[in-house]
Structure 1
Amino acid sequence: MRQQNSTFRRAHPSWANACVGENGDPGYVEYSKGFSKAANILINAVLEDHSIHLTTDIFVYPICFNMRHSVELRLKGAISALQKLAILKQRIINFDFMGSHDIYKIWFFFKTESERLDSRFQTINSLLEPTILDIAEIDPSGQTFRYPFSTQSTKHLSEVALINFVVLNEKFSDLETNLDELLKIYEWLELEYNQGTPSTLHRNQIFFLAKELPNRSAWTDENFSATKNLIRAKYNLSNNALSKILNLIQDHYALAPLIGLRKPLAGMDTPLLIDICDIWVEFNEDIKNSDTELETTITYAEAIEGVLTQRDSAWGKLRDLVTPEITAGSHALFYFAYDYGFTEYYESLYPRYLLEIRGEIDHGQQTIRDQFMHVFDKTNFLDHLLQSLYALGHRTTAEQIIARQDVAHAFHWLDKARSGELFTPPDFAQYPTDCFAENI
């Protein structure tokens, strides 16, 4: 236990206490952001001061040291994350974190291993590399801005002479932006790998492949064999590997529409879903007047009474339609809209909700009415259902519901859903997105 008069201890005020060690469990990224933010605060202070009191000649050393050390930590954090991704692909990546401080060697290791694991790292790596190599050239081991002389008593930076703070600010800002994008790519790929796509190709390549296929109805034609031979050669696939991919495409919500198929929704058919949406709009007429200001002269008690009456009326129309399967299906569509990155997530939601709903009914914990109305009562019920329909390749159904009720003006996200921008993952350059697939 630390002594009460120790320098590194807790004290008052409590807001000034920093969480360290196991209290917060900081890793490479958290450490790196501390150094980078310190560098940014200092460089901005010097620029605002115009080097009058806070001179460039003095602050260049802590600023560049913090920048350089932040990048080393970021790269080590990137390698640590890469190791976790590799495990998901049944690979092992070994790296000496404690003994490696040479920026060039760390970068070369990360660049090589990341692109070997997944070719989609190439684009972000090409953006990161120029500035990282600049840092590696001027300060490979973290000593250049730390001491005036090397261990061989050579003066540091003797061949540089001048360093411009405006250039430093621009270059480091761009580097941080790209490093943040790299974090997003890790998170996305971790989710993707966890879907367990059974293929030698990554997801984006499968989308490319699917777009080269004719409609499913033409797969029995004689010339389809020639198409498959061309695809096998282009993607270096065996007959078995291509067969698995073709099966995947036919049974995938975002891919099937590319070959003229629509995978059915879980738990309900399209006409029934449209009926449910019609009933929801009937009892939520305000959605048609979202641009007008409604009068609010009724009391709270009157409002509650109106909601309960409206709820009873809505259930009167829903009672004969709703089953545990339909309830689970509506839950899956509603909650998928919170995280529609991967359509496999939607498929996992339905059986989970169906099991829970049946269990609660069997044990008398909730009625089918309570369970269905739990999502039907929500003011964003229609928003979420429509977003999920676009993401799952059921654009036609979504457009039909919108047209029937004339509610296109009520959804600020609609243009992005129609274009696919709403479902865009981290930037993989030329690769198409998972749920985008040309607005299927």
Structure 2
Amino acid sequence: MTDKAESVFNKSPPPRADDVLFGPNPEDWRLNACIEHWGEVDYAYKAGFRRAAFQLTERMCERPIDQDSIVYPIVYLYRHHVELMLKDIFRLASDLCEVQISGSQKDHLGRHDLAKLWSLIRPLLDPVCKIAGSSSLPVADLDGIDAYMSQLNDHDPRGESFRYARSRDATRTLGTDLVHINIRSFAIQMEKLADYLAGLENWLRILVDGRNEVLLG
């Protein structure tokens, strides 16, 4: 028999029906995360995935232990951040260009193909620059993003390869050609991508807000 505070498997207390998973703890108020009162809830999701990935990477770089397992959430978190950013960027660019989002495009917004999402955005960028009265974005920058999306899609086309070890037919979700990922190098490149997308999104949001102010004024 075990003590009441221990489960039958280990020293950790077992789950109880009166345990509360969601809600505040007044005795531990510093860790009470505010969910309802975000002024921009989309930002909280996007920022949260990126920050979690960065903090995990920092921990790995300081103390490289368990990197063979921690690599999966790091890659997934960064990838999901990029996916959320691309979807918002496409919506903003479409709004600014006054382009109605088609049914097929809405379908892609509900999927996880990063290369396809980026391919919806890139044709809108020159029209956006014309609206803003600025020169086109550097081709080398856009080609760089093309390359990043292609690499991410090569190994994780549906956003599942770093979430699940196996697909429904029990085969490995990652191909055998991928043997190593350097966590530091991966994070450095993904932070570059995240910074660029953040700048693009902020610029688009400023343009949309400016247009709306003129229309309302």
TM-score bracket, normalised by the shorter chain, equals 0.7 to 0.9
- Report the alpha carbon displacement of residue 183 of structure 1 after superposing the two structures with TM: 2.4
Residue by residue over 1:311-342, the C-alpha shift from the partner in whole angstroms, topping out at 9 and shown as x without a partner, is xxxxxxxxxxxxxxxxxxxxxxxxxxxxxxxx
- Does residue 17 of the first structure (1) align with residue 26 of the second (2)? no
Q: Partner of 1:48 in structure 2?
A: 62
Contact persistence 1:35–1:69 (CA under 8 A): yes
Per the alignment, residue 368 of structure 1 pairs with: none
C-alpha distance in 2, partners of 1:24/1:58? 32
Please report the TM-score for the alignment, with normalisation by the length of structure 2: 0.74
Where 1:185 maps in the other structure, the secondary structure is helix
Give the corresponding residue for 1:32: 46
Tell me, in whole angstroms, the C-alpha distance in 2 between the residues paired with 1:28 and 1:133: 25
Q: Supply the AA of the counterpart residue of 1:76.
A: K
Q: Does 1:84 align with 2:95?
A: yes
Alpha-carbon displacement from aligned partner over 1:217-241 (angstroms, at most 9, x marks no partner)? xxxxxxxxxxxxxxxxxxxxxxxxx
- Mapped pair 1:8 → 2:16: no
CA distance in 1, matches of 2:136, 2:50: 23
Aligned to 2:101: 93
Distance 2:77 2:147 in 1: 19
Aligned to 1:404: none
State how many pairs are aligned. Answer: 189
Residues in 1 aligned to 2:120 and 2:191: alpha-carbon distance in whole angstroms: 24
Deviation of 1:27 after TM superposition, in Å, equals 3.7
Does residue 1:170 correspond to 2:199, yes or no? no
SS of 1:45's equivalent in the other structure is: helix
Q: Is the Cα–Cα contact under 8 Å of residues 53 and 75 in structure 2 kept in the other structure?
A: yes
Distance 2:56 2:114 in 1: 23
Return the structure number with greater relative CO, CA threshold 8 A, min gap 6: 2
CA RMSD of aligned residues (A): 2.9
Provide the C-alpha distance between the structure 1 equivalents of 2:54 and 2:92, rounded to a whole number of angstroms: 25
Identity of aligned residues (%): 24
Q: Separation in 1 of the partners of 2:210 and 2:37?
A: 31
Q: Which residue of 2 aligns with 1:102?
A: 113
C-alpha deviation, 1:121, in angstroms: 6.0
Q: Secondary structure at the match of 2:165?
A: coil
1:150 matched residue in structure 2 = 167
Distance change >3 Å, CA 103–CA 71, structure 1 → 2: same
Contact between 2:88 and 2:201, CA under 8 Å: does it hold in 1? no
C-alpha separation in 1, matches of 2:124 and 2:42: 19
Tell me by how many angstroms 1:25 deviates.
4.9
Q: In the superposition, relative to structure 1, how do residues 27 and 149 fare at CA in structure 2: closer, same or farther (>3 Å)? A: same
Cα pair distance change 1:9/1:121, threshold 3 Å: farther
Q: Whole-Å Cα distance in 2 between the matches of residues 19 and 5 of structure 1?
A: 20
- Where do 1:246-265 residues align within 5 Å? none
Unaligned runs of 5+ in 1: 197-347, 349-440
Q: Unmatched 5+ residue regions in structure 2?
A: 1-16
Determine helix, strand or coil for the equivalent of 1:96: helix
Task: For residue 70 of structure 1, report the CA deviation from its aligned partner.
Answer: 0.9
Tell whether the 8 Å contact from 1:128 to 1:179 is kept in structure 2 after alignment.
no
